[in-house]
Chains A and B, each alone.
Chain A
């Protein structure tokens, strides 16, 4: 079989052997991890929400109140929103180890409020037919002064 000379990998093989090896390892590694639906850096998988999203009976949101005022996530720059909201959601869902909880709250207090009163709420919501979320329960996860 004749390999077309203009193929990128073929050109790499002829002109830049090291990059050829890196590219082959990358392609094989990504393929292997894709087959196992598992991601390992640097073999990144860009599914972009490709997993089937099933209907949930309830949806959970975490909110932060500083000095009695709720933080509006959308008013934050995006990288900060990710840093606060994602970290909070991940930490709250891992809420098993009290020491880790304490470390997280200390971090969050330093990051967001410089030790002003802080409260974290867990909101459980259901959607109505018009696509509007209704809060069914509002649970105070971290009252001020607990830690």
Chain B
């Protein structure tokens, strides 16, 4: 009798657990694929999706094996070589995540990851610069390749570690290479990085701030040191999750500062910041919020 009661209790716990997982899975899918859609919308507006990159593409020669291999497949040349095909691929980039949010079919997540990967390579081949921002969007779609609870959580956690690695390694590189101790480092970076801004819009507030940092290397150096400390603080995430809310905020502050000081857009990387959120709390809040709506309407 006792064992029967225990078995009953266990199966109830399992059911509650799996119900909780389904809720979280749906919520995460909504945020991840929703944010990916926003990234793509921004790129569509910038004429930087497949159909916007023009026909035929101008492609740089590549040193990296993966890029050379991708060029050999003729995928970027074929997609962008035919206007209709490039429109179809753009359409798929928007359609697939919407379909995934609606019915959570794993195959959509797999297709979307590969579509993003193809776009990532194509865009980087056209600019001749290996922009890393989109890697975050590709990586965070990988957990959705499975619906197995344990595997999903492990893949999600792997994404969190990758997010920590991005920041922590950026700080360690600067320390190991000694650039953080070089007092004129940021000042010289800004001279090269913000030249267009200073030439084309010298009277803007943004340009005035950059100009001040260039003229005052000591202040610029202090900004660099703060930046490295912020990046270094992500190391703590490898040992505990206690500071994840703080790291979540720091990542946003870093991306904003990076944009205003360096004119570097790292906002697309921020999609990985979702891995630092407490999804148990978030799913409770969301369910409370949605339970409240009909009550308020009745009143």
Q: Give bound CA distance, A87 to B122, whole Å.
A: 13
The answer to the question of B205 belonging to the interface, with a C-beta cut-off of 8 Å to chain A, is: no
B128/A91 in contact, CB under 8 A: yes
Q: Is B185 within 8 A of A52, CB to CB?
A: yes
Q: Indicate if the CB atoms of B198 and A132 lie closer than 8 Å.
A: yes
- Which listed segment binds A: B14-22, B38-46, B71-79, B101-109? B38-46
CB distance from A113 to the nearest CB of B (A): 11
Residue in chain A with minimal CB distance to B213: A131
- Complex contacts, B67 vs chain A, CB 8 Å: 41
Which range holds the interface residue count of chain B? 35 or more
B155–A19 contact, CB under 8 A? Answer: yes
- Contact, CB under 8 Å: A41 / B66: yes
For the complex, give the distance between the alpha carbons of A127 and B178 in Å: 25
A130 interface residue (CB < 8 Å to B): yes
A107 touches B57 (CB 8 A): yes
- Are A16 and B199 closer than 8 Å at their CB atoms? no
**Interface 9-residue window, one of B2-10, B89-97, B187-195, B286-294:** B187-195
Interface residues on A, range: 35 or more
Chain B residue contacts of A12, Cβ below 8 A: 154, 158
**Nearest CB in chain A: distance from B198 CB, A:** 5
Q: Are B64 and A82 in contact (CB under 8 A)?
A: no
Q: How far is the CB of A6 from chain B (nearest CB, A)?
A: 11
Is the pair B177, A50 in contact by a Cβ cutoff of 8 Å? yes
B179 and A52 within 8 A (CB): yes
User: A135 interface residue, CB < 8 Å from B?
Assistant: yes
Q: Please determine whether A78 and B173 come into contact, CB atoms closer than 8 angstroms.
A: no
* Residues of A contacting B24 in the complex (Cβ-Cβ under 8 angstroms): none
Judge whether B211 and A131 touch: CB under 8 Å.
Answer: yes
| Given pairs A46-B167, A110-B54, 10 additional interface contacts (CB within 8 A) | A15-B151, A40-B66, A46-B165, A53-B188, A59-B192, A72-B201, A82-B129, A83-B126, A94-B60, A107-B57
